[in-house]
């Protein structure tokens, strides 16, 4: 019995000492916080002001295109390179690409990271105060 207790105590100590990995970003939550005000919770946008993401060919096309828009901005849309990390960008794009009838594959965080480096997008800085969005 004491062997089992010792083994259990060792396991508890190991688990307690093992750092927890951050949970995967919730794409819907990231969308609600950063995108829904303009593109609407329904993904239908506001005609003449903010494009619909539902049925949008750019959103559903090659992953590189919408990821570039989030990292660099485009037209009246600001870039989110400094305010969203690569996991958040991958999660929100995956959400948009699979919501409102859209049926495109997920985007991996590593692909966003590689693209950020390739296009020299600003680096995410946690805790930075910004009012540009």
Per-residue H/E/C for the chain: CHHHHHHHHHHHHHHHHCCCCCCCCCHHHHHHHHCHHHHCCCCCCECCCECCCCCCHHHHCCCHHHHHHHHHCECCECCCCCCCCHHHHHHHHHHHHCCCCCCCCCCCHHHHHHHHHHCCCCCCCCCCCCCCC
Structure tokens at 6: 């010792």
pLDDT above 90 (res 3):
no
Range name among 21-25, 89-93, 115-119 with the lowest pLDDT average: 21-25
**Domains along the chain with CATH numbers:** 24-118 (1.10.760.10)
16 backbone dihedrals φ, ψ, rounded to 5°: -65, -30
CA 41, CA 99: separation in Å to the nearest integer?
10
pLDDT above 60 (res 70):
yes
pLDDT top residue among 100 and 130: 100
Across the chain, mean pLDDT equals: 84
Mean pLDDT computed over 66-88: 95
| pLDDT number for residue 23 | 55
- State pLDDT tens for residues 17-66: 333 334 578 999 999 999 999 999 999 999 999 999 999 999 999 999 99
pLDDT above 90 (res 124):
no
């Amino acid at each position: 019995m004491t062997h089992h207790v010792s083994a259990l105590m060792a396991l508890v100590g190991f688990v307690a000492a093992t750092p927890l990995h951050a949970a995967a970003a919730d794409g819907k939550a990231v969308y609600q916080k950063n995108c829904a005000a303009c593109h609407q919770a329904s993904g239908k946008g506001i005609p003449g002001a903010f494009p619909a993401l539902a049925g949008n060919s750019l959103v559903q096309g090659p992953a590189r295109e919408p990821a570039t828009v989030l990292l660099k901005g485009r037209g009246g849309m600001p870039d989110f390179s400094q305010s969203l990390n690569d996991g958040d960008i991958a999660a929100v794009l995956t959400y948009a690409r699979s919501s409102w009838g859209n049926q495109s594959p997920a985007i991996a965080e590593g692909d966003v990271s590689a693209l950020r480096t390739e296009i020299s997008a600003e680096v995410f800085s946690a805790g930075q105060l910004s009012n540009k969005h």
